[in-house]
A and B are shown apart, each in its own frame.
Chain A
Amino acid sequence: MAESTTFDRICDIIRENGGAGDVELTLDTKLADAGLDSLSTVEAVIACEDEFGIEIETEQNPATVGEFVELVESLMEK
């Protein structure tokens, strides 16, 4: 359940930052395919920091929605 909640919240953030459009988001969806370029991904990462109360190193730009979820969850466990 925890995973799906994080997933849903991250999908919302991706949509709020101009991603997704008509694409259905799954754990395997590449952020680039969801319409997020490198700058928009940084924007979504910053929004996640606020949403989850964590700090994410910008070098760790995730490539897929699944990687994004893993990254956020690993930081939340710390």
Chain B
Amino acid sequence: MERRVVITGMGAVTPVGLTAQETWESLVAGRPGIGLITRFDTADFKVKVAAEVKGFDGKDYEGIDVRHQDLSCQYALVASDEAWKDSGLEDDAELDRDRVGVYVGTGIGGLGSYTVNVDTMRQRGPRRVSPFMIPMMIANMPAGEISIRHHLTGPTLPVVTACATSAHAVGEAFRAIKHGYADVILAGGTEAAILPEAVAGFTNCKALTLNPDPATACRPFDANRDGFVMGEGACVLVLEEYEHAVARGAHIVCEVAGYGNTADAYHITSPDPDARGITRAIADAVSESGMKPEEGLYINAHGTSTKLNDSTETAGFKLALGEEAARSAHISSTKSMTGHMLGATGAVEVMASALALEHGIVPPTIGYAEPDPACDLDYTPGEAIEAELAWALTTNLGFGGHNAALALKAYKGE
């Protein structure tokens, strides 16, 4: 059984907005969310900048238990509430909740809750470790909490593939609906890892930029890029079977039409320099979508602003789409504004692409100043542009060699 899948709801908590709409407006305006780290004292740290979520307090939201839910879980619940409400399913008395699933993952999980308890254990012994430590740190809990909150009793699948987490979550949700295992799935990801331990770890992996200037720290595809900027937040999308959405008169943002999931089998943190894994992921998504690469394509690239990622991805676009189609595509990295939201990034980028298709607007890559010969495509530098878009691709690559590509189609009312 093959069915069509559409997006009918969106929710987001990001470094550039506390809702999906606010986030989209910031992306179109080219408003950056990167600043000096405020969560802890960075005096001993080489890394000084991050894209923090601003003005979020779980206590402001109904039903959030800030003592017993990790911040990553709080972000996910708030985003899922918004998406659920946006979809209109909240008020649907006919809804069969056994047919509604939750595919929400996280790259790192409740690290903040874990480290607090490690300190307690070391200082005061095992008896003082919180009974909530395990539920707060395990990476499946956002999916579990969302299903409990909205009483959704269909399939759950909390994906964990580092920076490809929520792209794979959306892709697997797409497949589950397409092949009949569910009618609706809340899909996405969350992250809250701007913590001293995670910043130190990523710094020593040589993944983060040491540039202390928030204005130039993240410059995807620029010749002088030198590492990513950690972000955080959550994004949850409502994926729904097309006939199910039409029957209830839902607002359809776009169609999800193709998905690729491949592994590099090369190195734990470096992408394959020959881009074989990401090329195959893109090719699989394109082929499943049936779209023509040269016609009205927007690519929301992973574009982390690391030396290797951006050149590898550029090579992958050319190999998978053909040199000419890659050159005619509008490309951007919205990470230039959101920072790298790790497990949440894929879903945020699907959301940005879906809204780009709906509004005919390509959000920009900000901070881009100097071209790199290894990155020679159209990255929409500086300012958003209007464009006739027929479809979009999003790509994400994660530590472990995980690759994800998703193809979205503009929805024109049929």
Contacts and interface: CB of A to CB of B under 8 A. Distances in A.
B68 interface: yes
A22 to B, nearest CB: 15
B68 A18 contact: yes
Interface in A1-19: 18
Contacts, number: 19
B127 interface: yes
A49 B129 CA distance: 13
B151 interface: no
Interface in B55-79: 65, 67-68
A40 B136 CA distance: 13
A63 interface: no
B3 interface: no
Interface string A35-57: 00001101100100100000100
B127 A39 contact: no
Contacts of A46: 127-128, 130-131
Nearest to A46: B128
Given A18-B65, A18-B67, A18-B68, A43 B127 contact: no
Contacts of A49: 127
B67 A42 contact: no
Nearest to A49: B127
Nearest to B129: A46
Contacts of A40: 68, 131
Interface in B103-149: 127-128, 130-132, 135
A32 to B, nearest CB: 16
Contacts of A39: 68, 131-132, 135
A49 B128 CA distance: 9
Interface band, chain B = under 10
A42 B68 contact: no
Nearest to A18: B67
Contacts of B127: 46, 49, 55
Contacts of B135: 39
Contacts of A43: 130-132
Contacts of A55: 127
A34 B132 CA distance: 18
Contacts of A18: 65, 67-68
Contacts of B65: 18
A36 to B, nearest CB: 11
Nearest to A56: B127
Contacts of B128: 46
B148 to A, nearest CB: 12
A55 B128 CA distance: 11
A46 B124 CA distance: 12
A59 to B, nearest CB: 14
A46 B127 CA distance: 8
A24 B67 CA distance: 22
A58 to B, nearest CB: 9
A78 to B, nearest CB: 18
Nearest to B67: A18
A36 B128 CA distance: 18
A49 B127 CA distance: 10
Interface string B67-108: 110000000000000000000000000000000000000000
A4 to B, nearest CB: 28
A13 to B, nearest CB: 14
Interface of B: 65, 67-68, 127-128, 130-132, 135
Given A39-B68, A39-B132, A43-B130, 16 more contacts: A18-B65, A18-B67, A18-B68, A39-B131, A39-B135, A40-B68, A40-B131, A42-B131, A43-B131, A43-B132, A46-B127, A46-B128, A46-B130, A46-B131, A49-B127, A55-B127
Interface of A: 18, 39-40, 42-43, 46, 49, 55
19 contacts: A18-B65, A18-B67, A18-B68, A39-B68, A39-B131, A39-B132, A39-B135, A40-B68, A40-B131, A42-B131, A43-B130, A43-B131, A43-B132, A46-B127, A46-B128, A46-B130, A46-B131, A49-B127, A55-B127
* Chain A to chain B: the 6 pairs with minimum beta-carbon distance, closest first: A42-B131, A39-B131, A43-B131, A39-B132, A18-B67, A46-B128
